[in-house]
Structure 1
Amino acid sequence: MAVRRLKNGKWQADVTVGVKWDGARDRRTRVCRTKKEAQAAERAFLIERDGRRGISGRITFREFVDTLWWPQKAGLRRNSRDTYRQVLNRRLMPAFGDMDLERINRMSVQKMILSCPTRKSAQKAREVLSSVLGNAVEMGMIAVNPASFRYQYPKKGDGGRQGEWLTTFAQHRRLLGYLRESCPGTAEERMVVLGLCLGLRKGEIFGLDWEDVDLARGTVAIRRTYTVGEGGAALDDPKTERSERTIPLTSWAAARMEAWGPSSGPIVTGRDGGRMNPNTAGKHMRRLVEGCYDDGEPIPRVTLYTLRHSFATACIGEGIEVAKVSRWLGHCDVSTTYNRYVRPMLGDLEVETSVIDAAMGDV
């Protein structure tokens, strides 16, 4: 075992951590840019070796993530890698970065979870932490994964940051009609039509090209997503295998696309005619919802996030089978459609009380 400098100026950590099933040495090496990084990698390998031998070792959460966990995630999709990095930087490193792995316990995990601003962010942080610590358990560095226990989550919602959900097709038609009359063919109208009429994800809206649309057959093929990550915006494969799908065009979407004039390249474009950056699109949507309908009523504060959710909720509300809605959305599991994309509003529930009251009769 050693840390040595290579001819190219980089540094290499080289440690034998054990013996493989065939009797050969289980040798671990890692090439680093600096001697300090190589020494940290060597220390991590030694901790793994000692863990196999039943000897307690010390390694911080940050060292474990940087030297052992991240290298195993090289095959992750770009979106997943960016999500992990964001959660680590915002939630996990501030809470556990300089803490020894073996000192992370149920109390410290609960403290981290309650420090998150929303339930959703807390759940994501616990999931990533569980992935890291579960890997440490597999490598024999810690005995149990404390992030696998059950925890209490913050009761705060998202503070309205995600925007409003339009739960009925009547609400959809009003917004779509307003856009058709006030700003036909603009990026704003195109984004809302693709999200509200087809239920596309944000990245799918910007990844959609005219070549993916068959107006004659009335179908749209979802083949790619366009998202922002390290290095800027880029095209990527759909989120999951089921996300790559072909869906039918609704009448409203088909009519508006014909009006926009079938062309080539991306459907939603920026000022330069190229594919619109998702960050720029958010600014367009914020300007849109600052306006009012002709009768003075404020335009609902919809976002690219809530357009898809509004589509799913309205479909369920009209009695469309949730399994069919799930396939349309490209979900791997029907439960995802139920748990994350269908939100009954209080007003909708109050309407249903009239049905119950009528059935129950007079008091």
Structure 2
Amino acid sequence: MSRRANGEGSVYETKQGRWVGATYADTNTGGRKRVVVYGRTRAEARKKLGDLQKEFDAGVRVSVENWTVQAYLEHWLDTVVKPNRAPKTYQGYELVVRLHLGPLIGNKKLRALTVRDVRLMCQHLAAKGMQRRGVQFAHAVLRAGLQNAMRDELLTRNVAKLVQIPAPEYVVGHGLNPDEAKKLLEAAKSERLHALYVVALYLGLRRGELLGLQWQHVDLEAESLQVVQSLQRVGGQLQLKAPKTRKSRRTVPLPSPVVEALKAHKLAQGKERLAAGPDWHDSDMVFASKVGTPMEPDNLRRSWYRVRTVLPEPLPRFHDLRHTCVTLLLTEGVAPHIVQEIVGHSAIDVTMTIYAHTSLDEKRKALQLLGERLA
């Protein structure tokens, strides 16, 4: 027999009759490590060894750690996600890994994870009653983790990318028509947060953006405000965090009703400051508690539940005020890309696909115009 080339590996039979393929490969820390595969026959062991060597030739490095899926995902969360992503994102990813991915595929060896394993995991989650959006999110977390393993040169392919997940069905909220919006604003006049509802309806700010707004970012003379942060509950504490996407960070001009509402709100807040005296906390929040601290979302929820009772069933969610702003702007003929800039959508298809539904009356009006044009 000719002498084996360096790195070609060897195949031999153990005393127990099991065939072994062995070779040396570069590790992810720069060293060398002996790697073995097993087979019931010489041909099976040689094939596995050949497949392994193809991966090494493609640039895969052997991990010094013998990673399971669970161990690697935890490593990825701690070293990549936590330092580089928003705390809310880390919490969501960690929850998925701990509650769903770990129990189902966590004990699998990272390099041995197959497309079938991922497909069965998704089917199991759906069979347990998880909504389609939840299955998609769990799959997305796994896909992101495995993609990082490829960047770490531990895998040559991302098996999660080969599993197709049905797209979730987005439920468009119950937006308000102009008469309902006016009725809501009238009912909100008795609330100390009246200005918040005005800003929400006119500008479409998210709840966290509203509660994270500070006076330093509001210019009532220039009639504009900057959205630069959001108030979020992270680890049981309220924290100001940067917007999730680049598009969320924006400057928005203020129409006259918003300017008037904010001026009245600032005056009322000054009276609250005087009443609180030394108990006042100067957080500079526009929509603060009665002692100046950042507002608890539950306090806003209680106010919202009172205000929305003037509207017909089904009662809208607070987020539907944002949806209302988008829909009314589009109905008025505002260009979609301008609406996107106002409300801070990450992409134009979010504006058009998820939010911009039309009513039967609007469809009838559009077809009537077409009929008049063609008549």
- TM-score, normalised to structure 1, is 0.71
Contact 1:206 1:226 in 2 (8 A): yes
Q: Answer yes or no: is 1:212 the counterpart of 2:224.
A: no
Amino acid at match of 1:93: G
Q: Deviations over 1:158-196 (max 9, x none)?
A: 5xxx85222x4443223222322xx24x23x34322221
Q: CA 1:64/1:355 → structure 2, altered by over 3 Å: closer, same or farther?
A: same
Q: Does 1:331 align with 2:353?
A: no
Give deviations 1:306-345, integer Å, cap 9, x for gaps.
2222211221121111111111123343333233333334
| 1:164 aligned partner | 174
Q: Residue 354 of structure 2 aligns with which residue?
A: 340
Which of 102, 106, 117 is the matching residue for 1:97?
106
Q: CA deviation at 1:204?
A: 0.8
Output the TM-score relative to the length of structure 2: 0.69
Residue 17 of structure 1: how far off its partner (Å):
3.6
The equivalent of 1:226 in structure 2 is 231
Q: Note the alpha carbon deviations across 1:221-250, whole angstroms, 9 max, x for none.
A: 222211112142111122233322211112
Tell me: CA distance 1:313–1:281, structure 2 relative to 1, closer, same or farther (3 Å). Answer: same
Structure of higher CA gyration radius: 2
User: Which residue of 2 is the match for residue 111 of structure 1?
Assistant: 123
Aligned positions, number? 306
Cα offset for 1:349?
3.4
User: Superposed, which structure 2 residues align to 1:1-363 within 5 Å?
Assistant: 17-18=27-28, 20=30, 52=60, 59-73=67-81, 74-101=83-110, 102-106=112-116, 107-111=119-123, 114=126, 117-149=130-162, 151-153=164-166, 163-166=173-176, 168-180=177-189, 183-184=190-191, 186-187=192-193, 189-262=194-267, 263=269, 265-289=284-308, 291-292=309-310, 297-298=312-313, 301-345=315-359, 348-356=362-370
Task: Name which of structure 1's ranges 196-205 and 262-271 shifts more when overlaid on structure 2.
Answer: 262-271
Give aligned-pair identity as a percent: 22
RMSD between aligned residues: 3.5
In 1, distance between residues paired with 2:80 and 2:237? 24
What CA distance in whole angstroms lies between the structure 2 residues aligned with 1:99 and 1:284?
49
Q: 1:156 to 1:324 in 2, by over 3 A?
A: closer
Question: CA separation of 1:354/1:56 partners in 2, compared to 1, >3 Å: closer, same or farther?
Answer: farther
TM-aligned CA deviation for residue 140 of structure 1? 4.3
1:117·1:154 contact (CA, 8 Å) conserved in 2?
no
Deviations 1:197-219 (A, max 9, x none): 11112211001123322222211
Cα distance per residue 1:56-107 (max 9 Å; x no partner):
9964322111134431222222232233234434543344334443334242
What stretches of structure 2 of length at least 5 have no aligned partner? Answer: 1-25, 33-55, 271-283
